[in-house]
Structure 1
Amino acid sequence: MIFLSVLSELLAFTALGLIAAWGEVFPRWTPVLRGRRVSLSAAMIPAAAGAIILTVLWTTLAVQVASGATLQGNPLPSDFPTTALHGWRLGLFLATYAPLPLWGPLLGLLAIAYWRRRRIPALPTPVPEYPTA
């Protein structure tokens, strides 16, 4: 369980590379790759795969809970998720887990913004024309 928690945190941290400078050029402390550009596919393939997986995972779970049945069609317990949660614990549970279905689509939007920033060349800066006297 600890390994999976650490792994998921490390994978989530890589999403910061889509907005940070080290997502475009490997930092100096990277032994072999320092100073080289991060290839577009090396960033986009994991980001797109993560966005798809997270969207499917959390959307399926949200639909399952909203419908009151498991994927096999068995009904959820009548007091789900309040079996051990009530009061402030239930509020904390809902506040922390309710946004999870947004994680995949937001990662997808972040990946698209990264792709557009890296793929579309910068527009040249127009030179202002000054009237001659």
Structure 2
Amino acid sequence: MLKVNAVPDVPRWARIAAVGAALTNVPSALWRVAIAVGVPVGLAQSEYDQMGAPGFGSVVLVGLSLVSEVFAFLALGLVQSWGETWPRWVPYLRGRRVPVLLGTGVAGLGAVATSVFGALFVYTSLNADMEGTAWGMWLLNVAYAPLLLWGPLLGAVTVHYYRRRMAACPALA
């Protein structure tokens, strides 16, 4: 399991939920990268053509995977010190406290957005008319299913972050 150097007053469940939220994107990112490099994942050729992969669409697929991983790993900031104090490498802000409402607001919006995305994915996958093979559709669903947990896990850690930070010093908001 991913080691998390959490701040001392973070309970084990919050560390596990933050790591879970951070890792929910890995299967779907690997699935997109596989398509980008031309690994057959059971989709019909028309679906590869629609995505432009392999080709320029591969750049988009890899870029989407990288961006989603960066956003997912930001969940770790809710249980680590860099979610409370800006890291050294952030110009003008380094060493200053991260405002509680900024961290909570961004993470809360992320939790809502990822929950909506998860629900839309389920709706779309149940109503999709895709031409891929049965194992390809199974693989797609297995790769994207963990995203259903992203929003709820992020939401739980966000609530904990807010309560913990506000209990430590109510003037931080």
What TM-score do the two structures reach when normalised by structure 1? Answer: 0.68
Aligned pairs for 1:1-133 within 5 A? 1=60, 2-66=62-126, 69=127, 76-77=128-129, 80=130, 83-84=132-133, 86=135, 92-121=139-168
Q: What amino acid does structure 1 have at the position aligned with 2:121?
A: L
Unaligned runs of 5+ in 1: 70-75, 123-133
Q: CA deviation at 1:118?
A: 0.3
Q: What amino acid does structure 2 have at the position aligned with 1:96?
A: A
Identical amino acids, percent of aligned pairs: 39
Cα deviation digits, residues 39-63 of structure 1 (max 9, x gap): 0122111111111111111112213
CA distance in 2, matches of 1:41, 1:22: 15
**Which deviates more, 91-100 or 28-37?**
91-100
Cα deviation digits, residues 76-120 of structure 1 (max 9, x gap): 33xx5x71452xx66654432222111111111110011011011
Q: CA deviation at 1:38?
A: 0.4
CA distance in 1, matches of 2:134, 2:161: 40
What TM-score do the two structures reach when normalised by structure 2? Answer: 0.54
Higher relative contact order (CA 8 A, sep 6+): 2
CA distance in 2, matches of 1:91, 1:56: 22
What do you get for the CA RMSD once the two structures are aligned?
2.3
